[in-house]
Amino acid sequence: MSRFLYLVRHGEQRDAEFGLPDGPLSPRGVRQARAIAERLGGVPFDAAFTSPLQRAQETAKIMTERLPSLEAEPSALLMDCIPAGPSPDMPHSFESFFGGVTPEEIDAGEAQMSDAFSEWMTPSRDDRHELLITHNFVIAAFVAHAFGAAPWRWMGVNQANCGLTIIRVRSAKPPVLLTHNDLGHLPAELRTGLPVDQPY
Ligand SMILES: O=C(O)[C@H](O)COP(=O)(O)O
């Protein structure tokens, strides 16, 4: 039996460029959320979970309004976090990122992700479809975990606002990355949040 995880980064946050830690969606973020809801309209979701942050909860509300009989449950396991700290095999070019990160933040992020993997990256008895609305680093950590990559490998893996990543978790077989950061439902002007523009 398969467990399908639909990982969606929240829509664009209003005024995020001014360094605000959280806030409502921008008008573009609202359109992104509507587009991903339409894209996923045919999925027989069994459950939905969202980061408790406002930009994620607003995305979840817009999505679940369009996905009948689905309510998103806030989960602290989907909070924005630093999923793992550096290790000796990490390329030096990533080291500067950790200059502004405390050991406490790393410990908290590692504990959060360990619990998140126990919660969702485990096989289910029946086929199951679950929607997880969360943050860029968290989705990157799920992808790295699916490949059994080094814990630091969440770095350099990025998802656009309301991009779609799907992981299939199976018993007795490794997880499968079915799609990563699929932007097919987003016109070029709604493709935001990536370090490099992706208009194609
Ligand atoms: O990518 C980041 O800078 C952090 O994970 C924040 O991500 P978010 O914009 O998805 O909340």
Whether residue 198 is predicted with pLDDT greater than 90 in this model: the reply is no
Mutational pocket test of ligand 1: of 57, 113, 137, 162, the residue with most ligand atoms within 8 Å of the beta carbon: 137
pLDDT at 168: 98
Q: How many residues does the chain have?
A: 200
- Greater model confidence, 13 or 15: 13
What CA–CA distance (Å, rounded) separates 175 from 157?
17
pLDDT at 160: 98
pLDDT at 108: 98
Whether residue 199 is predicted with pLDDT greater than 80 in this model: the reply is no
Strands (E), 1-158: 2-9, 47-50, 72-74, 128-134
In a domain, 199, yes or no: no
**What are the tens digits of pLDDT across the range 116-154?**
999 999 999 999 999 999 999 999 999 999 999 999 999
Domain that holds residue 53: 2-190
Q: 72 pairs with which residues across the strands?
A: 48
Where would I find the H helices in the chain? Answer: 27-39, 54-65, 103-120, 136-146
pLDDT band at 163 (very low <50, low <70, confident <90, very high): very high
**What are the tens digits of pLDDT across the range 79-94?**
999 999 999 999 999 9
For 111-122, the DSSP string reads HHHHHHHHHHSS
Q: What percent of the chain has pLDDT over 90?
A: 90
Q: Name residues whose C-beta falls within 8 Å of residue 92's C-beta, 6 or more positions apart in sequence.
A: none
Q: Give the number of other Cβ atoms within 10 Å of residue 97's Cβ.
A: 12
pLDDT at 114: 98
What CA–CA distance (Å, rounded) separates 130 from 132?
6
In a domain, 164, yes or no: yes
Instruction: Give residue 80 CA to ligand 1 midpoint distance, Å.
Output: 7
Q: Which atom of ligand 1 is nearest to the CA of 55?
A: 11
By the 8 A CB rule, do 24 and 58 touch?
yes
In a domain, 198, yes or no: no
Mean pLDDT, range 155-184, rounded to an integer = 97
Instruction: Give residue 10 CA to ligand 1 midpoint distance, Å.
Output: 9
In a domain, 200, yes or no: no
Interface predicted TM-score (ipTM) over 0.90: yes
In a domain, 45, yes or no: yes
In a domain, 141, yes or no: yes
pLDDT at 98: 95
In a domain, 197, yes or no: no
What CA–CA distance (Å, rounded) separates 36 from 62?
10
Question: Which of these, 49, 198, 64, 188, lies nearest to 130 by C-alpha position?
Answer: 49
In a domain, 70, yes or no: yes
Q: Whose CA is nearest to atom 2 of ligand 1?
A: 136
**What are the tens digits of pLDDT across the range 27-77?**
999 999 999 999 999 999 999 999 999 999 999 999 999 987 789 999 999
Q: Which atom of ligand 1 is nearest to the CA of 193?
A: 9
Domain with residue 84: its CATH number is 3.40.50.1240
Any residues with Cβ below 6 Å from ligand 1, and which?
9-10, 80, 135-137
**What are the tens digits of pLDDT across the range 90-106?**
999 999 999 989 999 99
Domain count, the chain: 1
Average pLDDT, the chain: 96
